[in-house]
Structure 1
Amino acid sequence: MPSEPLMILVAGPYRSGTGDDPAELAANVHAMNEVALHLFRAGHLPVTGEALALPLLETAGGAAPGTPLFDEIFHPVAERLLARCDAVLRIGGPSAGADRMVRQAREAGLSVFTDLGHIPSTGSPA
């Protein structure tokens, strides 16, 4: 049975295991965006904290991961975004930040998915 479209936060590693290498950070963002595209085509509204936080960081003058400006913006954006979401899809490998999003989602009573195949279809692709 088709479900209503969900706003789903895609939570995965951004910095974990990258040594903050720009190419690896970009690869992690790309992996989240690939999954987000799949969710969009399934009729949902996918979001990532990176899609909002990274442009804000650039506008604020740029900030390397781990700097005070990065810490001020990066995870707080995802936390504020999570408060508006219906669910979280946890992807990828180890990530303290993504695990925090999952923990907060569960505490808020949101659905948490760890497999793209377990997300209900809306019955109407985008």
Structure 2
Amino acid sequence: MTDRPMLIPIAGPYRSGTGGAPAAMAADLSRPEAAAWPVFDAGQVPVTGERIAPPVPRSAGAGPTDPLADQVLHPAADRPLAHRDAVLRLPGDSAGAGQDAATARRRGLPVHHDVAQIPRRVTAAGGAA
């Protein structure tokens, strides 16, 4: 239990194995989005790097499969998430999600593999936050 909301990145496949196909990437993105509600409902703050990072290469005129995206997507997502409290690692092959989990472990942070593992935040009155 924590007294403040935990910032919990939801890490899962986004571009890996999609060949850059927009429909496949959108399908991959639906999985972390589906996990966002249970994290929020537990009183925590869900975030996905896939929502944080894409404006960086896009503002440079690059798409998600452009070589520039390969250079900046992971660092752009990781910088604000340096303040993370844990990671929710969804199943599936993904270099970026694996990197997120490894970074969390190096920092001594928990890596959850199921939303049920995420601590529920409780208010002073005893209810969920």
Q: Answer yes or no: same fold by TM over 0.5.
A: yes
Is structure 2 residue 117 aligned with structure 1 residue 118?
yes
SS in 2 for 1:72: helix
**1:18 corresponding residue in structure 2:** 18
Task: In structure 1, give the amino acid aligned to 2:42.
Answer: A
**2:69 corresponding residue in structure 1:** 70
Higher alpha-carbon deviation: 73-82 or 23-32: 73-82
Contact in 1 for aligned 2:42/2:118 (Cα 8 Å): no
Unaligned runs of 5+ in 1: none
Is structure 2 residue 98 aligned with structure 1 residue 99?
yes
TM-score normalised to structure 2 length: 0.85
Contact in 2 for aligned 1:88/1:112 (Cα 8 Å): yes
Task: In structure 2, give the amino acid aligned to 1:71.
Answer: D
Is structure 2 residue 57 aligned with structure 1 residue 51?
no
Unaligned runs of 5+ in 2: none
Task: In structure 1, give the amino acid aligned to 2:36.
Answer: A
TM-score normalised to structure 1 length: 0.87
The percentage of aligned residue pairs carrying the same residue is 45
Counterparts of 1:26 and 1:94, CA distance in 2: 16
Measured on the aligned residues, the alpha-carbon RMSD in Å equals: 1.7
Deviations for 1:6-33, whole angstroms, at most 9, x for unmatched residues?
A: 1001110011221221011011112111
Deviations for 1:91-125, whole angstroms, at most 9, x for unmatched residues?
A: 03111111111111100111111111111111355
* Structure of higher CA gyration radius: 2
Structure 2 vs 1, CA of residues 110 and 122 (structure 1 numbering), >3 Å: closer, same or farther?
same
Counterparts of 1:110 and 1:70, CA distance in 2: 27
**1:81 corresponding residue in structure 2:** 80
Is structure 2 residue 60 aligned with structure 1 residue 40?
no
Task: In structure 2, give the amino acid aligned to 1:90.
Answer: R
Deviations for 1:51-82, whole angstroms, at most 9, x for unmatched residues?
A: 111122322213242x3310232011122133
